[in-house]
Structure formats: C-alpha cells, structure tokens
Amino acid sequence: MDSLSPLLLSSIIFFSCLTTSSIATTLDIKRDESSLLAFKALITSDTIKQNWSTQTSVCSWIGVTCDSHGTRVTQLNLSKMGVRGSIAPEIGNLDSLVSLDLSGNYLNSSIAPTIFNLTVVESIHLYDNGLSGSLPRHICRYNRLQRLKVLDLGSNELEGDIPLSLDQCSQLERISFGFNKLSGNVPREIANITKLKVLDLSFNNLRGVIPQQIHRLENLQMLYMSSNELSGSLPPGIGNMKALQFFFLTGNALTGKHPLWTLI
C-alpha cells in the first residue's frame, strides 16, 4: 500500500465504485426484463409478441417506460392492446413500478396478489378485463402501496369483501370497484381515507347500510353506490359534505332524503 500514490488510490476507489454501481443497475434492469418475460409467457397479444424481443432493450418495448437512466422499469401501460390470458405473479417483482395500466384487455385470471405488495406504485388500472377472485385481506398493510393514489378495478368479475385494511392506503384519491361482484358491507374504515375524491362501488352485491362516518370524506367529489343491495337510511352527514358534487345511489333499498338533491 505504501507505494500507491493518493491519486492512484482515489482513482482505484472511484473506478471500483463505478463498476459496482453499474453492475447493480445492469442486474436490476435484467431482473425487470425477466419479470416482463415471465408476464409475456402467460399472455397472448399480437402487439407484444414480436415487439418484446430480447434483441432490443426492455426500455424500447412497447408499453414499457424506464427511468431516465434506463436502469429500472417505472411504467407498464398495455391498455387496450388485446392482451389475453393471466397476470403472472412476477409482475410484483417490478418494484420500481410507479404506474401499471392493463385496462381494456381480456385478462381472465385472478389479480396476482404480488401486485398489492408493490411499494412505490401510484396508480393501478386494471378495469375492463375479466379478472376474478377476491382482494387480499391484508391489502395496504406492511407498508405496501403507501403511495397509491388510484386503484381502478372496475368492470371485472371480482368477488368477496372489500378489505377493511384498505384504509391503510392513506394516499388514495380514487377507488373504482364498480361493475364487479363484491359482497358484504361497505366498511366503515373507508371513511378514514380522507383524501378520497372518487368512490365508485356501484353495480356490486354490497349490502347493509352506508356507513354513518362517510361525512368524514371531506374531499369526496363523486360517490357512486347505485345498484347494490344497500338498505337503511341515508347518513344525515352526507348533506354536510362540502366537496360532494355527484352521488348516485339508485337501485338500492335506501330511505331518507338528501337536503339538496333527491336520490338519483
């Protein structure tokens, strides 16, 4: 070591750091690539079939967006690309994913539960597919989905309860679960998600009452709960929800009147 000049030493340190970090990022993008290839293996889509070629960079694949350094996949948007088949669990390994949009396709599996273990994702759009199964009971727990703003699962075949732990996703601004087969009650806990602007639970099999606490959603602009099996009276607090512009509650067995609007 005595014979090494400080300059040489610092350049050795510099280059070894550089090499370590570029190896790490190469491994990351390779891992993202293999996750996408696992996804590709369970679907059919004429658009993706030829395009997602290992001869080209994953960042140039149709529907795939990377960060500015090309080191991680940050967006996957395959909306309306005629995608058929199932969602591979490996999609949950894309742990830098900020936005996932697989809407308007023919996906007919359950929603791979690994999707709900993503950590930096801000929007999940899976509406208008044939997805079945139920939502994970512990959704939003264990520090998962803590940046999620949009969860749009409308127009699928989802069944089971709305998990109580959904309120642990405190950044949610839009929940769209309309046109599914969800059952059980509307959980009171939903009223804890105070950033919510849109809540769409219409056209499901939900029963019981609309939670009294709903008035706590002071940013809620749109409330859709029509065509369920809801009963009881309208929570009086609905009249005090300042941001509320629209609410659709027809096709239930509700009683009571909103002071400003009739039931529409």
Ligand X SMILES: *[C@@H]1O[C@H](CO)[C@@H](O)[C@H](O)[C@H]1NC(C)=O
- Bridge partners of 231, per DSSP, are 253
Residue appearing with tokens 């999620």: 148
Q: Quote the tokens at residue 47.
A: 């658009």
226 CB-side CA count, 13 A: 10
Q: Quote the tokens at residue 193.
A: 């998600």
Residue 232 CB, shortest distance to ligand X, in Å, is 16
Q: Which of 25, 108, 171, 219 binds ligand X (CB under 6 A)?
A: 108
d(CA 99, CA 113): 16
Kindly identify the residues of this chain, within the stretch 41-70, that bind ligand X according to CB under 6 A: 50-51, 53, 56, 60, 62
Q: Quote the tokens at residue 46.
A: 């004429």
**Closer CB to ligand X, 223 or 226, in the complex:** 223
By CB under 6 A, is residue 188 in contact with ligand X? yes
**Closer CB to ligand X, 195 or 263, in the complex:** 195
Q: Quote the tokens at residue 156.
A: 């699928």
**Closer CB to ligand X, 72 or 215, in the complex:** 215
By CB under 6 A, is residue 213 in contact with ligand X? yes
Residue 70 CB, shortest distance to ligand X, in Å, is 14
**Closer CB to ligand X, 39 or 227, in the complex:** 39
Contact 168, 148 (CB under 8 A): no
Amino acid of residue 206: L
What residues make contact with ligand X under the rule CB under 6 A? Answer: 50-51, 53, 56, 60, 62, 77, 79, 84-85, 99, 101, 108, 113-114, 117, 123, 125, 142, 167, 188-189, 191-192, 213
